[in-house]
Amino acid sequence: MLDLLTPPMYVEIIMKVICIGEILIDFVCTQVNSGLKKGCDFVKKAGGAPANVAACIGNLGGDSQFIGAVGNDPFGSYLLDRLQSYNVNVDFVQVLSTPTTLAFVSLADEGEREFTFNRGADEQLTLTDSRLESLLDDSIIHFGSATALLGGNLFDSYLAAVNHASSNGNLIVFDPNYRIDLWKNNIEQFKERCSIFIKMADVVKVSEDELELLTGMSVQGEACNVLHEQGVNLVFVTLGKDGCLVSQNGNQYIVPAYEITAVDTTGAGDSFIGAILYQMANSSGIDILYADKMEEFVAFAEKVSGMVCSKVGAMTALPSLDEINNTHFIVKK
């Protein structure tokens, strides 16, 4: 965790953002409102929350590195090609004999989704202490895997990585990425494991449902304070069409969303936090976690997220910096 009591640190180069966790194939059903039971036709899309975040950062021009595992199969090769096409460093991706992880996704009106997972190689990621020491340096570390907390080698690697990052003084960012299909029979374990990372995180990004689930409180401002009491300095609560609640340094405010027509919300939260991290990594100082710039950061991130929601696919919908700068946005009233 970053020591915010130290003097501000200024950097002359872009900071690297390391995203650790799953990468997978999303098979997206093309029949809207059919559900996975009735759906017949699917299109292949690259996905996985941490991979989406890394791709967003790289696509905007940032320095991002993805650490995860894929199978030694056509799906794994496809995923590595896709990440590299978004300027993501994949030097430390492990290629294993276990098949690449697959997810099947169906879409409903306004982009809402249903998931089912066929886990594979992502679960087998193994990070040694020596590998972690060579990776962390002064990077921002993002923990946002939907599957990491389930257990296995990936969970062990997550624990090792967050402990090393905390000892090293890295800026730690955590997104719980709750998926009911993964945790519906074991919600308490999900909350317990999230608590480990929340206590070490400088920044936490949650949806409004995740915030209530993790804190047991329905009043969002009070729920954010629960996270602050555990050591979190900055909380983002994404509110969908209502924008984002920012809670930092005793200040809480909502940045309104932009007018969009949602087609697919897959990757919306990933692109939001990716855009935030891109801006953090490209800013000159980390004093009090960019408090004077945060509203501007969130407004930009909402533009990125809104454009992702307007198309199908998490990575394929990612806009470039030029596309964002040349698009007219209307604030939602």
Provide the 3-class DSSP secondary structure of residue 170.
coil
Residue 284 lies in a domain: yes
Judge whether residue 69 has pLDDT over 80: yes
User: Beta partners for 113?
Assistant: 107
Residue 2 lies in a domain: no
Residue 29 lies in a domain: yes
Q: What is the pLDDT of residues 181-218, one digit of tens each?
A: 888 889 999 999 999 999 999 999 999 999 999 999 99
Residue 333 lies in a domain: no
Query: What domain count does the chain have?
Result: 1
Which pLDDT score is estimated for 12?
42
* 156 contact partners, CB below 8 Å, separation of at least 6: 126
Q: Copy the structure tokens of residue 255.
A: 């940045």
Mean pLDDT of all residues in the chain?
A: 88
Which pLDDT score is estimated for 113?
66
Residue 330 lies in a domain: no
Which pLDDT score is estimated for 10?
36
Average pLDDT over residues 149-155: 93
- Name the more confident of 15 and 73: 73
Among 53-67, 133-147, 316-330, top mean pLDDT goes to: 53-67
Which pLDDT score is estimated for 258?
83
Provide the 3-class DSSP secondary structure of residue 28.
strand
Q: What percent of the chain has pLDDT over 90?
A: 60
Helix (H) or strand (E) segment spanning residue 182: helix 180-183
Q: What is the DSSP letter of 242?
A: G
Q: Compute the distance between CA of residue 111 and CA of residue 113 in angstroms, rounded to an integer.
A: 6
Which structural domain range is residue 38 located in? 16-325
CATH code, 252:
3.40.1190.20
Q: Copy the structure tokens of residue 47.
A: 């996905």
**Three-class SS of 75-139:** HHHHHHHHHHHCCEECCCCEEECCCCCEEEEEECHHHCEEEEEECCHHHHCCCCHHHHHHHHCCC
Which pLDDT score is estimated for 3?
52
